[in-house]
Structure 1
């Protein structure tokens, strides 16, 4: 019964991730001169997460300290920083700082949640992480649904709600989830040891596959509302509800995470991850075609396929990284790989934002195919059949 508690708690806490994005149109009214607020707001959460994962990796926090307590403290603190954007802020730098600090604390939730799962479920880890990453995806999408349901209320009500959910999730882990039976005492930080996993070709292969996946995923999520707005502008009769369809398309990835985890038990995690990465890469290449297609049903179906495939490989890569990492540094290895992966998301988001301003063309999303292409190259280059 512990897995449902971990999964639900991760969902509740990660609802903070895109809370700022969901109310961005309202926030922009306070900062009308900030032309890059979407990219910068998203990037600051990512940058905060990266900084947090780096600190957690340097001090091996999730390996040395009880991970449930780390999750609890970070969930509480992240909720408070999320609430801070409801203050009357006149300086956009304060807004970005609070989003940075929220992201920093999320480093004690997402990778630490995976660490907790790996301490409990040594066998069938791919399936367990499928549920966990599915919870992350659903949590990321959830603010868009909340915004759809709370349009009659002030935007701050969404921020209050997501912070309350995080408090509940943090408390649930603290109360109901003790140390797992497979938890091993961690080591003090050793820089060379933290990167030692990259000496292993299996670890290196799946880590680089994950990095290619990350180039695409968060940029797709961040610019998805923009794609929907663009389609509405070209096809006024479609009148797609941007918040609702953003939620549905991002949240569909939760189902593919679970399905990918289950399929990996029969066909192998690496094989399923490779297929998912190939499909999402193809969607990147076809994006410009479907943004102009007349049929709204084909357009939405395409975005759903993209949402499903772009996320399906997330838990599989995490499982493969955990399995191929040095055992006593599993938590640190997961955190370090996450740190590098989320650094890549910032670069990708800023690149697409720059291209959007410079060219104002739907063809820019084809650039996202670079990540899956390089990730596939890393996965297919490794001939070792032990990675599964």
Structure 2
């Protein structure tokens, strides 16, 4: 049992936990819709505003950086542990919806970039509190529950590529629709009650995030998470460009559209990976599952580096395997933190971990085109593989610590 949890409530006495998981997962996907809105209509924005490559990249990175700033502030203020999660999610979703709507009148990349950063900051009030809220509904089976949450988010991440492949819609309609979805998601989340395994209230301690992250157990879990994040978002951000080149090199017609459909499949298959990762994490132990997933994911990156000139079906098959394992471990890092961090500051710990991870993604996303220009896609994939391989080593170290006895009901 986790320290600070209510000891008298049994798993069987938590009716409605699957309903709560379903509603909160739907709420998070809807509330996070503004994150992906500009990506879905970026070609249209480039044409409408005459965006350069640098300005277009800024619109993508601004959300990541805004999320980092919002997460850092939230962690410093212990918001996720001092404010009920459903209220934070509602506030974040409504703010994100408003900032997203601002794109309709932005008129250019400067104001649009600031609005995208504000959108990311607002969404830092949605994602970490949602993970904490769901942890309060599950004690056993928590890895599966959070895996479903991240899997739903993964599927949402894939949808813009499907939109692009189908030809998209008017960009103003997309922006308006995603804003309405975010507000709806916040409303759904506000109706999800607190679970029976709720965490104790926290006092305001701005330095607590640093203390938690530098502790041995959470520190090693965070190092593993950083190795995972080094690879993940860079692969998601650049796979479409890579596969467009694969198809174009074979002289296939409309390679961009084919790459959009392929990217939807490669990213979307990760939703299944998240569920499988949750099941295996609960049954095998989270340190074992995360290390295995990162070794397989890093191995796929290295294999793809050697096979970039292979036939497109072979490249796609290997990429689908990569897309499955690259995200299969993601929710398990958050689950570990919920099991071994100070119960009063689980929300702060989750938020701080996410802030570090998304900070790293901005660097790896920016590094990929530099590596491609220097040595092609083989060099880029090789460098991306370094992260998960180092992350797997951190998780094996965590498995040997006393904290491992509190992970996955003692399975480590």
Structure 1 residues 235 and 156: alpha-carbon distance in aligned structure 2, compared to 1, 3 A threshold: farther
**Local SS of the residue matching 1:121:** coil
* CA RMSD in angstroms, aligned pairs only: 2.0
Which moves more between the two structures, 187-196 or 2-11? 187-196
Aligned to 2:16: none
Q: 1:257 to 1:217 in 2, by over 3 A?
A: same
1:106 aligns with 2:123: yes
* Alpha-carbon separation, structure 1, partners of 2:260 and 2:41: 10
Kept in 2: contact 1:15–1:142 (CA 8 A): no
Residue aligning to 2:100: 82
Larger mean CA deviation between 157-166 and 369-378 belongs to 157-166
Task: Indicate yes or no: 2:132 matched with 1:115.
Answer: yes
Q: Show the counterpart of 1:367.
A: 383
How far the C-alpha of 1:361 sits from its partner, in A, is 4.8
Instruction: After superposing the two structures, state which structure 1 stretch, 235-244 or 370-379, moved more.
Output: 235-244
Greater CA deviation, 353-362 or 25-34? Answer: 353-362
Corresponding residue for 1:337? 353
Q: Report the CA distance between 1:280 and its aligned residue.
A: 1.0
- The change in CA–CA distance for 1:163 and 1:2 in structure 2 (over 3 A counts) is same
Would the aligned equivalents of 1:22 and 1:243 in 2 still touch at CA under 8 Å? Answer: no
Q: Counterparts of 1:54 and 1:200 in 2: how far apart (Å)?
A: 18
- CA 1:358 to 1:40, structure 2 compared with 1: closer, same or farther past 3 Å? farther
Query: Among residues 233, 241, 248, which one is paired with 1:218 in the alignment?
Result: 233
- Is 1:190 the counterpart of 2:205 in the alignment? yes
Does 1:278 find its partner at 2:295? Answer: yes
Gaps of 5+ in 1: none
Q: Structure 1 residues 26, 290: closer, same or farther in 2, change over 3 A? A: farther
Pairwise CA distance, 1:38: 4.7
1:305 is displaced (CA, Å) by 0.8
1:301 to 317, 337, 340: 317
| 46, 52, 58: which one aligns with 1:34 | 52
Matches within 5 A, 1:22-101: 22-32=40-50, 34-87=52-105, 89-90=107-108, 92-101=109-118
1:310 alignment counterpart: 326
1:23-77 CA distance string (max 9 Å, x none): 2222222454622245322221110110111111111111111110110111121
What is the match of residue 348 of structure 1? 364
What residue number does 2:242 align with?
227
TM-score (norm 2): 0.88
- Note the C-alpha offset of 1:255: 0.8
The size of the alignment, in residue pairs, is 384
In 2, are the aligned partners of 1:28 and 1:34 still within 8 Å (CA)? yes
| Long gaps (5+) in structure 2 | 1-18
Counterpart-to-counterpart distance in 2, 1:182 and 1:115: 11
Alignment of 1:143 with 2:160, yes or no, is: yes
The answer as to 2:221 corresponding to 1:206 is yes
Contact 2:93–2:182 (8 Å) recurs in 1: yes
Larger deviation, residues 157-166 vs 267-276: 157-166
Q: What is the rounded CA distance, in whole Å, between the counterparts of 2:106 and 2:209 in structure 1?
A: 42
1:352 deviates by: 1.5
Match of 2:395 in 1: 379
CA contact (8 A) 2:291 2:393 kept: no
Match for residue 4 of structure 2? none
